[in-house]
Structure 1
Amino acid sequence: MKILIVDDDALIREGLELILKMEPDFEVLGAAGNAQEALEICRRKKPDLVLMDIRMPVMDGVLGTKHLKNQFEEIKVVMLTTFMDEEYIKEALKCGAEGYILKNQPADSIIESLRAVAKGNIVLEREVATALSSMLREGKKTTPEQLAISPREFAILKLVGEGCSNREIGRELKISEGTVRNYVTALLEKLGFRDRTQLAIFYIKNCE
């Protein structure tokens, strides 16, 4: 997986680069100090994933994500930040970010999150998922019967809404990752959504 690191703090950029370069399945293409630089690098090098800070000079990470997704829909974006600001979370996900994680996580957790996103999962750190839940919760809860899905499908929808990866869902429900993928695909078809992000937000808004 080819990764671009975007952060205005040189020490953090260098630290992340050292950590990620130690992983045999990661290739760090470079680093940028703001989202404008990141866009220019993306045009030249076409990374698979951009690890994006939020608060940066020239162009911040949220606006950068919006421009990046408009130009390169296939490039995945994970927001890595110290800020638990609700507006940042909402705007980053609205702009197409596949993940939102915090810098205070252990390196192993960040690495696992990047691998999960590379496999097509959405990654929200627990604190972020909780904040998103409180932002979007409204009205009456929607039941599995109203959605015309099975209790097992509803259980998987719940775990997707909590930001769990396929591996974590499989471990929790004692089923294989392949089975989880099949359930997620079925949920997308039944509920008429395009991706896991929409599933997660639907669950948080309507079912919690």
Structure 2
Amino acid sequence: MLLYNDENPIKIVVADDHEVVRVGITKLLSFSKLIQIVDEVTNGLELINSCKKFNPDIAFVDILMPKMSGIEAIPIAKKASPNTAFIMLTAFEDFQHIEKALLAGADGYLTKGVSAKILQEAVFNVMKGDRVFSKSILKLIRDRKMTYDETNDLNVSITKREQEILQLIAVGNTNQEISEKLNLSIRTVETHRHNLIKKFELKNAAQLVRFAIINSENIE
């Protein structure tokens, strides 16, 4: 668990092209001395540069921004700042955007209608390594499970190593992070992910992420 205190606060970047939204988020998150807003940016390119400069713990990111969208920026920003957790904070509640965000590497997906309490709790939950979702988003993800649930379930036999990888996928780890935590090569991790996609008869990496999140409580 990461340690943070008044002298070592959680560093946050807020990325949204609407000033009112940025100011509102900053105000809501400034309730604690454990949190420090280190930068506010208005587009995806600025987000990437901010991550390079500040190496924040968390970035709250809107999807629709000028020059480069939040979804386009996240994979690049992750390379610049591998330890940063990226939480989408957006008005979009359709599954297409959710899936694209998760595939891009987002560690959470919140709607702009969430309460101050949920937003504040999300900060500390992500710092513990959890993924965070608005209730409406989590329901949508779980409802979509029905599109392939009849043919895919945890009755499929998987190895202990595959279980470990599935658990790490569920909490948002990238291939690089999984390889470091399990002391495996990235190629080996990619092979395990490919095998999991085949075993559960999924179509792509995005479905594997969704499947891992939905079934995280059942993976032992």
Answer yes or no: same fold by TM over 0.5: yes
Counterpart secondary structure, 2:39: strand
| Of 147, 153, 160, the match for 1:142 | 153
Q: Partner residue of 2:163?
A: 190
CA distance in 1, matches of 2:20, 2:85: 24
Report whether the alignment pairs 1:33 with 2:32: no
C-alpha RMSD over aligned residues: 2.6
Between 74-83 and 131-140, report the one with greater CA deviation: 131-140
Q: Partner residue of 2:195?
A: none
Segments of structure 1 that go 5 or more residues without pairing to the other structure are: 150-186
The aligned amino acid for 1:69 is K
Alignment of 1:108-119 (within 5 A): 108-119=117-128
The aligned amino acid for 1:22 is F
Measure how far apart 1:199 and its partner are.
7.0
**Aligned residues, how many?**
169
Aligned-residue identity in percent? 24
Query: Contact 1:35–1:59 (CA<8 Å) still a contact in 2?
Result: yes
Report whether the alignment pairs 1:55 with 2:64: yes
Per-residue CA deviations over 1:119-157 (Å, capped at 9, x if unaligned) read: 1001121211122223343133525x65589xxxxxxxx
Q: Partner residue of 2:12?
A: 3
Against the structure 1 CA distance between its residues 200 and 23, is the aligned structure 2 distance closer, same or farther, given a 3 Å change threshold? farther
**Structure 1-normalised TM-score?**
0.72
Segments of structure 2 that go 5 or more residues without pairing to the other structure are: 1-9, 173-207
CA distance in 2, matches of 1:4, 1:188: 35
Per-residue CA deviations over 1:132-183 (Å, capped at 9, x if unaligned) read: 223343133525x65589xxxxxxxxxxxxxxxxxxxxxxxxxxxxxxxxxx
Report whether the alignment pairs 1:82 with 2:116: no
Per-residue CA deviations over 1:11-61 (Å, capped at 9, x if unaligned) read: 111111122122121000010011111111111111111000111111111
CA distance in 1, matches of 2:36, 2:211: 31
**Structure 2-normalised TM-score?**
0.68
Alignment of 1:58-137 (within 5 A): 58-137=67-146
Counterpart secondary structure, 1:192: helix
CA distance in 1, matches of 2:213, 2:29: 33
Q: Partner residue of 1:158?
A: none
CA distance in 1, matches of 2:158, 2:49: 46
Counterpart secondary structure, 2:144: helix
Q: Partner residue of 1:184?
A: none
CA distance in 2, matches of 1:188, 1:21: 41
The aligned amino acid for 1:190 is Q
Query: Contact 1:69–1:95 (CA<8 Å) still a contact in 2?
Result: no
